[in-house]
Chains A and B, each alone.
Chain A
Amino acid sequence: METSNRELQAAEYLERHRIKELVSYLTSALLFFRPKPREYLISLLERLRIAKVTGVAFPFFMDNSNIVAMFEMMDSSGRGTISFVQYKEALKTLGLCTEDGDLKDDGHIITLDKFKEEVNKRMKEI
């Protein structure tokens, strides 16, 4: 069955506004904190809206401690650096980069600071 034009259009809409990530984030927040659903969702969405308008960096998907934790999980030997491949995979898992591969492979090692910086930069772009 070929995908109809409307279906492709809908898929493209989802991609453009990153709806899947947003819904995934909302659902995870709901299941984790288990509040009253509607009020909580409305408050989250309001905060997002304001963050977008004012340009303030909203702790969107992960905040600083999560980034550090993720880095430490990947850095198994505790040297303070991760390989470029790991770095790319991590960004893909976070949904912050697609298959473009527009990351420069500069000297193979990525430190925690560089990782944090890159993640935050990409978050702002959303």
Chain B
Amino acid sequence: MDSTTAPHRIPPEMPQYGEENHIFELMQNMLEQLLIHQPEDPIPFMIQHLHKDNDNVPRIVILGPPASGKTTIAMWLCKHLNSSLLTLENLVLNEFSFTATKARRLYLQRKTIPSVLLVQLIQERLAEEDCIKRGWILDGIPETREQALRIQTLGITPRHVIVLSAPDTVLIERNLGKRIDPQTGEIYHTTFDWPPESEIQNRLMVPEDISELETAQKLLEYHRNIIRVIPSYPKILKVISADQPCVDVFYQALTYVQSNHRTNAPFTPRVLLLGPVGSGKSLQAALLAQKYRLVNVCCGQLLKEAVADRTTFGELVRPFFEKEMAVPDSLLMKVLSQRLNQQDCIQKGWVLHGVPRDLDQAHLLNSLGYNPNRVFFLNVPFDSIMERLTLRRIDPVTGERYHLMYKPPPTMEIQARLLQNPKDAEEQVKLKVDLFYRNSADLEQLYGSAITVNGDQDPYTVFEYIESGIINPLPKKIP
């Protein structure tokens, strides 16, 4: 009854369903919450957790030295992701909380509040509806290791932690130009981030404590504390350099928080490689098949094998080969399904290349149920393609394949007898490349979550890009 005596034949719909609906992550999150809170009655707790449906809301912490632009980035992210922003100021100024009134007195006196109180405030705030439904962004909290540990003991874990960093001198200078808009609370800068509207310009105030000495003191304190906070968030931390224009920092932060972390979910790659002839699809497919033990399915190869083996399908395909016409889609799909339905393809996953060539073939593939879960477009400029293909030669005596630029033949004798495949002639290549580009726009639209890779680099670099595309979860697109 176990899988060692008789292999389990799991129908492929099950892993496909699991991947599409992220079942593994769903269960993992539920289990995590169960273990953190350990309720006495697990079932009502699980029902409540499922109703909340907040596994994917943003839970972000932004840390950084003074004048690094934390608050600006935090506010922009809030607006973009539609979450709630939590800073020391707005926690303390919360009018609906009893703890906040206590904290306010201390804050007005000393500009900081004890960690215990702060963490209590955070806990209260995070239990409110809007934080649960739309996520939260903590700006500048936790500042010390003590705060970080207290937050952790309450079971509050962020999913992404961003630390901004810049050289101290830059920060001290930058802080001198800081201006605050008293109405909206937004921070502007005299040089880098000047508001366009003149009414805002007139309102701007100079905040206190931005002199060089004070900034330097604050920086010292920051450096002392941050070094102990960073190890608390090992895998979810990212350091972004704040020494670049605001929009660049924001763009990097946004891409990071929208990416999911790698999970332990079981994943059988079903990869589709698309690109014009000569873009390196076969080579990448062979490398992938070798490293990850996927099944390399090349459409053209399959057809040739069928003809050579004289199978039933082979006999049907042969007349098309002899007349040098394209094989009709229906026959092609039959040959493909035969290969992809075999047990080794279902279990190990596959790399497909050479098909689909146009929208109809793609739709046929989908209807047969072979949905790839990673699609890659290999982009190579036309000149590179010409260079790669038209200089291919073959030695008729040994059968060795050479390339006049990348792998030249060793002796003049061999070079004299090299032959070129008529399919590699310039006009033929041009025709095939044009054919691909005519259909590529449709295909790109169909495979919305495809990843474009620059194919014009050396093969191992391209391979690494493709690998990272397969291994990392697909980034979420903002609706």
Chain A residues near B1: list those with CB within 8 A: 73, 93
Q: How distant is A41 from chain B, measured CB to nearest CB, in Å? A: 6
Asked if A42 is at the interface (CB within 8 A of a chain B CB), the reply is yes
Query: Do the beta carbons of A27 and B47 come within 8 Å of each other?
Result: no
Partner of A45 from B21, B23, B34, B50 at Cβ < 8 Å: B50
Measured in the bound complex, the distance between the Cα atoms of B27 and A27 in whole Å is 8
List residues of chain A with CB within 8 A of the CB of B18. Answer: 31
Encode A12-52 as 1/0 by CB contact (under 8 A) with B: 01100101001100110011101001100110011011001
> Which A residues lie within 8 Å of B38 (CB)?
9-10, 13
A17-B42, A73-B1, A93-B1 given; A42·B47 CB < 8 A = yes
Complex Cα–Cα for A9 and B35 (A): 10
- Among B17, B34, B43, point to the contact of A49 (Cβ < 8 A): B43
Chain A residue contacts of B30, Cβ below 8 A: 23
B46 at the interface (CB under 8 A from A): yes
Q: How far is the CB of B444 from chain A (nearest CB, A)?
A: 29
Question: Does any Cβ of A come within 8 Å of B31's Cβ?
Answer: yes
Q: Whole-angstrom distance from the CB of A46 to the nearest CB of chain B?
A: 6
Contact status of A52 and B31, CB under 8 A, knowing A31-B23, A38-B50, A38-B53? no
Total residues of chain A contacting the partner, CB 8 A: 25
Please report which residues of chain B, range 1-55, place their CB below 8 angstroms from some CB of chain A when the two chains form the complex: 1, 13-14, 17-18, 21, 23, 26-27, 30-31, 34-35, 38, 42-44, 46-47, 50-51, 53
* Nearest-CB residue, chain A, relative to B40: A17
How many B residues are at the interface, by size bracket? 20 to 34
Closest chain B CB from A49 CB (angstroms) = 5
Query: In the assembled complex, which residues on chain B have CB atoms less than 8 Å from the CB atom of A93?
Result: 1
Is A52 within 8 A of B47, CB to CB? no
Residues A49 and B47 in contact, CB atoms below 8 Å apart: yes
Q: Do most interface residues of chain A lie in helix, strand or loop, or is the interface mixed?
A: helix
Min C-beta distance of A30 to chain B, whole Å: 6
Q: Which residues from B are CB-within-8-Å of A23? A: 27, 30-31
Inter-subunit contact A45/B35 (CB<8 Å): no
Rounded to whole angstroms, the CA-CA distance of A19 and B1 in the bound complex is: 23
Question: Complex: how many Å from CA A27 to CA B47?
Answer: 15
| Contact A42 to B31, CB < 8 A, known contacts A27-B23, A37-B21 | no
Cα A9 to Cα B34 in complex, Å, equals 13
Bound-state Cα–Cα, A17 to B31, Å: 12
Contact (Cβ within 8 A) B44 A26: no
* B51→A42 contact, CB < 8 A: yes
Contact across chains for A42 and B34 when beta carbons are under 8 A apart = no
- What are the residues of chain B within 8 A of A22 when measuring CB–CB? 42
Which B residue sits closest to A73, measured CB to CB? B1
Q: Report whether A31 and B47 are in contact in the complex, using a CB–CB cutoff of 8 Å.
A: no
A37 x B42 contact (CB < 8 A): no
Residues of A within 8 A of B27 (CB): 23, 26-27
| B44 lies within 8 A of A49 (CB) | yes
Asked whether, in the complex, the Cβ of B14 is within 8 Å of the Cβ of A31, the reply is yes
Closest residue of A by beta carbon distance from B22: A37
Q: Once the chains are docked, how many angstroms separate the CA of A30 from the CA of B15?
A: 11
Inter-chain CA distance A30–B53, complex, in Å, is 17
Q: Which residue of A lies closest to B46 (CB)?
A: A45
Q: Quick one: given A31-B18, A34-B13, A37-B26, are A19 and B42 in contact (CB under 8 Å)?
A: yes
Cβ-defined contact, A41 with B42, below 8 A: no
In the bound assembly, the distance between CA atoms of A52 and B44 in angstroms comes to 11
Given A30-B23, A38-B53, A49-B47, is A19 in contact with B17 using a C-beta cutoff of 8 Å?
A: no
The answer on a CB contact under 8 Å between B43 and A48 is yes
Complex CA gap A116/B35 in Å reads 34
Q: How far is the CA of A30 from the CA of B20 in the complex (A)?
A: 13
Asked whether, in the complex, the Cβ of B23 is within 8 Å of the Cβ of A46, the reply is no
Instruction: State whether A10 touches B23 (Cβ < 8 A).
Output: no
Contact of A34 among B17, B26, B43 (CB under 8 A): B17
- Whether A45 and B43, one on each chain, are in contact in the complex, defined by CB atoms closer than 8 angstroms, is yes
Chain B nearest CB from A48 CB (Å) reads 6
Cross-chain contact B14 with A42 (CB below 8 angstroms): no
Q: Is the CB of B43 within 8 A of A31?
A: no
Query: Sorted from nearest, which 9 A-B pairs have the closest CB atoms?
Result: A34-B17, A31-B14, A49-B43, A45-B47, A37-B21, A17-B42, A42-B50, A10-B35, A13-B38
19 contacts between A and B (CB under 8 A): A13-B38, A19-B42, A27-B23, A27-B27, A30-B23, A31-B14, A34-B14, A34-B17, A37-B23, A37-B26, A41-B50, A42-B50, A42-B51, A45-B50, A46-B47, A49-B44, A49-B47, A52-B43, A73-B1
- Other A-B contacts than A27-B27, A38-B50, 5 sampled, CB-CB below 8 A, are A14-B35, A23-B31, A41-B50, A42-B51, A49-B47
Chain B residues with a Cβ under 8 A of chain A: 1, 13-14, 17-18, 21, 23, 26-27, 30-31, 34-35, 38, 42-44, 46-47, 50-51, 53
